[in-house]
Structure 1
């Protein structure tokens, strides 16, 4: 049974004894006894949402042929609440048996990597990849490699671990341009969300010479048909990924938040929240292709409507899988602390997968999601919980 239609192995619900909020862990599949997937925190997070995300992680790991299954954690709580760190700490403490041995987690919506690493440090586990690191032949050496990779500086003053996911999304966009023989300098992009993923994608698209004409944050949409000054806008962000409107140039149009959907750009990148494109707004999408930087960005009904209009959707389990794939290449010692090596590996794999997905679309209108699911199923049939774990070959 393939990841897209299999039932999860485990669903766990936690109730915080202090705030009464609920948290969820869904383990969709185990490979070698391990599953990977981030932990998100947002008000309104549900078990159903976490289950969808865990399924997506299983598809990501299979699509990129990684030796690990898929899981996801989620907490129904406002990450801006001053009690959020305590909630996250208690959630991870409750799930300690899974965190110790089976669940490799990382940042996600509302939970930056430094925050979850702080929680793991308080639990005495050093780093959120603990379940994989502890299985390696030399855990201390593997930990040093992981820390060096995550903290490797890249141009722009950021760290590799913070930008590699956005770099992968940018490469998905560039892969579309290459597959369709577009001139990158003439291609335009609109991005919904300017946090870690959307901001990283915007930076690397700008670096590649593609025009980012619109970005949207919680306060609204910023639009300039000739292209935005992406580095300046990213410098104007606050801790929550929102742009200080007082630093926006006068020639940039300030529009309502949902205006980003209908901006006349070649590529639309939803990089903010899950289920951003729905049956109610799918008709507003003006792009020629949608690149899902956010997990589960498009509902099934909305994607069917886009497909009927001739707009393919590059699914999240390919487009935004860069951070997850890179983390496992780093764990396995296939890349190290040199960002150039990591960028080359991710660029090559992402562009080749996007080309494969679009080949099916161009030939007979097979959707990229269907092609991606076929690729995942071909790479690996999801093991069951009863299968004996195979040791991970982490050096």
Structure 2
């Protein structure tokens, strides 16, 4: 069963992207709008207790983009925050689309989860067919959502954009090759977001004039985003001293063997404790936040850093790999203490930026082309944000948020 709400206060989608705050939401800039999302849709599964939500924050040229997540406890407010974040990401990287997000309140480890996802996507079919380009997110892999789309007779989760192509088959093949190109650390489509986060961390360290090999980092979450960031930071020479998954925190001040640990992950992003070397300390999961490091990367659930736990953080730089990783009051507290928080809609936007470059034919399956373009873009954005920044200026996201700027976006033309 579905229900739709299209607020009458939505404004002009292409020129009035929503910002604004909400309870437990990321910090909005002082000038942020409080307008409603363009569309909210509620779904209730008729075979389980699952509930789902689609929020289109902005529609640009008839399209909006944003992943679909699945986790027990997912709420409409959470999906709204994430959709608003997608509007900020597309604006930050000047992508010709609006922002949206899908969310399902259901345990992805439940044996019925795949069928729940399929029924959710079937209910969303009119939007997925014409307007909403979705992809992987927390609890949903790209491979899984593509399998569901194939089951429903759609080419791939980028279906709405592919259908605008003059040659749908060729566009689908280009996207498939790009997503599944093998690169160090996994498949290009799986690791590109984490690679972008790693580049954001490296850029922040460069602005602070830190020696990369002496710079330490702790990463909360070793799924697609956190695992990719850990891999490429380790490859770049930064010392990854702590990794946290659902089972706890692994800590070694001398540096962890990241590739070896990641190789033991199960499908839920948890490291096999039997493969952890004896020298590595196994700590409580929450200890990751108070690790004595230069860079902290929250790459797990939303709202991981709160007013209740942010006082334990000593890292001078936080790079948000998870969407909505820091609550509003926590970010203000951290900023007042001089801690720079590189916002999610910049740091983890590499995945969506690359996906649209791939859709538009601006990159292909060649990893070196994709890595070079994303590396340059991310380095420039983070360097520009952090250079000359002072806590008195307010959170970095205030400067980074350009979603309120009217953009002259031409219609998407997919080759």
Structure 2-normalised TM-score? 0.91
Q: Distance in 2 between matches of 1:167 and 1:286?
A: 24
Which residue in 2 is equivalent to 1:4?
Answer: 19
Q: What SS is found at the alignment partner of 1:303?
A: helix
1:75 aligned onto 2:104: yes
Between 1:178-187 and 1:264-273, the stretch displaced more is 178-187
CA drift of 1:3 comes to: 2.9
Aligned-residue offset at 1:2: 4.3
**Which of residues 42, 52, 58 is equivalent to 1:23?**
52
Q: Report what 2:67 is aligned to.
A: 38
1:316 to 344, 355, 363: 344
Q: Distance in 2 between matches of 1:392 and 1:136?
A: 10
Deviation at 1:365, TM superposition (A): 3.1
Please tell me the root mean square deviation across aligned C-alpha atoms, in Å: 1.3
- Is residue 96 of structure 1 aligned with residue 88 of structure 2? no
CA separation in 2, counterparts of 1:167 and 1:379?
A: 30
CA contact (8 A) 1:37 1:106 kept: yes
Whether the aligned pair in 2 keeps the contact of 1:60 and 1:321 (CA below 8 Å) is yes
Distance apart, 1:379 and its partner CA: 6.6
Match of 1:229 in 2: 257
Question: Are the equivalent residues in 2 in contact too, given 1:361–1:367 (CA < 8 A)?
Answer: no
Aligned to 1:305: 333
Q: Check conservation: 1:198, 1:272, Cα contact below 8 A.
A: yes
CA distance in 2, matches of 1:96, 1:391: 22
CA-CA distance at 1:29 after TM superposition:
0.3
Q: Distance in 2 between matches of 1:20 and 1:280?
A: 31
1:393 aligns with 2:393: no
Name the CA shift for 1:217/1:380 in 2 (closer, same or farther; >3 Å): same
**CA offsets, 1:281-323, max 9 Å, x none?**
0001121111110000000010011011100111110000011
2:183 match: 154
- Describe how 1:164-179 pairs up with structure 2 within 5 A: 164-179=192-207
Is 1:280 aligned to residue 308 of structure 2? yes
> Where in structure 2 are the equivalents of 1:115-126 lying within 5 Å?
115-126=144-155
| Counterpart contact for 2:336–2:391, Cα < 8 Å | no
Runs (4+) of structure 1 moved beyond 6 Å? none
Give SS of 1:370's match.
helix
1:243 paired residue number: 271
**How big is the shift at 1:7?**
1.8
Q: CA deviation at 1:377?
A: 3.4
Superposed displacement of residue 360, structure 1: 5.1
3-state DSSP class of the match of 1:32?
Answer: coil
Unaligned stretches of 5+ residues in structure 2: 1-15, 21-34
- TM norm structure 1: 0.95
Match of 1:208 in 2: 236
Contact 2:179 2:187 in 1 (8 A): yes
Unaligned runs of 5+ in 1: 384-389
Alpha-carbon distance in 1 for matches of 2:129, 2:303: 32
Query: Which aligned pairs between 1:329-348 and structure 2 lie closer than 5 A?
Result: 329-348=357-376
**Partner of residue 298, structure 2:** 270
Q: What's the counterpart of residue 27 of structure 2?
A: none
Shift of 1:123: 0.6
Partner of 1:361, secondary structure, is: coil
Task: Tell me the residue number matched to 1:131.
Answer: 160
In the TM superposition, residue 237 of structure 1 has moved relative to its aligned partner by 1.1
Alignment partner of 1:14 out of 20, 36, 43: 43
CA contact (8 A) 2:217 2:242 kept: yes
Displacement of 1:376:
3.6
Give, in angstroms, the shift of residue 240 of structure 1.
1.0
The aligned runs of 1:346-365 (5 Å cut-off) are 346-359=374-387, 361-362=389-390, 365=393
Aligned length: 386
2:320 maps to which of 292, 311, 326: 292
Work out whether residues 50 and 72 of structure 1, in 8 Å CA contact, stay in contact via their aligned partners in 2: yes
2:401 is the counterpart of 1:377:
no
**Cα deviation, residue 236, structure 1:** 1.5
Q: Deviations over 1:86-110 (max 9, x none)?
A: 1100000001000000000000000
